[in-house]
Amino acid sequence: MIPPAAVAVKGRRRRRLFRADPPVLGFPLEEWGKTWYNSPIRWGGVPRQSEQKEKLLPVNKHALRAAFPLTIPVMAGYLVLGMGFGILLQSRGYSFLWAGLMSLTIYAGSMEYVAVDLLSGGASLISAALMTLVLNARHLFYGLSMLEKYRPVKGAKKAYLIHGLTDETYSLVCSAQPPEGVEPGAFYFWITLLDQCYWLAGSILGGLLGQVLPFDTAGIDFAMTALFVVIFTDQWLSRKNHLSALIGLGVSAVCLVLFGPDNFLIPAMAGIALLLMLLQRFMGEEAAS
C-alpha cells in the first residue's frame, strides 16, 4: 500500500509537468502552449503553412500597393503622350490595333513617334535599324547601371524588366527604394508593368479617338520634343556639371549645319556618344570634386 504522503508528492510532480508556474517561467500554461505550437521544434524546423503564406503576402499584395503611387506622375504623362502617338498613327492610315501592337513590342516613346514617319515614308529596314540603334543607344548605359539591381531577378521577369526599361521607368527604379518587407524584384516589376500599361492604354485610346473625332495632327509629333526639353531642363537645374549638356547642344548644332535638318540626327547621336565616352573620366572627376 502506497502511503498517502507519497501519492501527494507524485500528484504534485504530475501537476508540475502540465502547469507552468508563473514565478518560474513567467507565463501561464495557455501562453506556453502557443509558444510550443509555434515553435520550429514542434514542426521539425520547418515554418508552418500560415507563416509561409505571411512571407509571400508582401510579394504578391504589397509590392503593387507600394509601386502604384510612385507611377502616378508617369501615368499623367504617358496617357497624354500615348494618345498623341495613337492619334498621329491613325492619321497616317494605321488603326488603333497597330498602335497597341507597337506599344507592346517596341515600347520606346520617342522611337515610336519616329517610326510613324519611317512607316509612312517607306524607309528601308536598314535605315530603320540604324535609326533605332542610334536613337536608343542610351539604353546601353541604362542596362549597365542596372546590373546590380536586377541581378537577383531571374527568368522571364528579368527579361521583361529589360524590355520595359524606358527613360521614365529607369528614373523611378533608380530613385525609389522598395519598402521593408517587399521583394525588390516584384517592386521593380510592378513599376515597369504599370508604366507600360499607361502607355498602352493611351496609345489605344488615341487610336480610337482618332477614328471617331476629327483631329488636326499638326504639332502632335512635337510632344516628345517637348518632353525631352523638360527632361533636359530638369537635368540642367539639378546638376552642377553641365559638360554633357553642352556637348549635346554643340554637336547637334554642328551636325545640323553640316548635314541639314533631315540627316543630322544619326551623326549627332554618334558624335555625342563618342565624345561622352572619351570624356567619361574627366566628367567623373568633375562630378566628384
Cβ distance 68 to 200 under 8 Å? no
Give residue 68's pLDDT.
93
The residue to which cell 521539425 is assigned: 44
Q: What's the pLDDT at 218?
A: 73
The answer to whether residues 193 and 78 touch, using CB atoms and an 8 Å cutoff, is no
Q: What is the pLDDT of residues 119-140, one digit of tens each?
A: 888 778 888 888 888 778 778 7
- In sign, the C-alpha dihedral spanning 147, 149, 150, 151 is positive
Q: Where are the domains of the chain?
A: 63-220, 234-289
Predicted pLDDT of residue 276: 76
pTM: 0.63
Question: How far is it, in rounded angstroms, from Cα 6 to Cα 13?
Answer: 11
Residues 68 and 192: their CA atoms lie apart, in Å, by: 10
User: Are the C-beta atoms of residues 153 and 161 closer than 8 Å to each other?
Assistant: yes
pLDDT at res. 115: 86
Predicted confidence at residue 162, as pLDDT, reads 92
Answer yes or no: are the C-beta atoms of 19 and 29 closer than 8 Å.
Answer: yes
> What is residue 268's predicted lDDT score, i.e. its pLDDT?
83
Q: C-alpha angle with apex 124: 118 to 127, nearest 5 degrees?
A: 75
Which residues of the chain fall short of a pLDDT of 50? 7, 9, 16-27, 29-59, 286-289
The whole-angstrom separation of Cα 227 and Cα 190 is: 24
Instruction: Compute the residue count for the chain.
Output: 289
Q: Can you give the pLDDT at residue 103?
A: 93
Dist. CA 190–CA 182, nearest whole Å: 12
Q: What is the pLDDT of residue 206?
A: 93
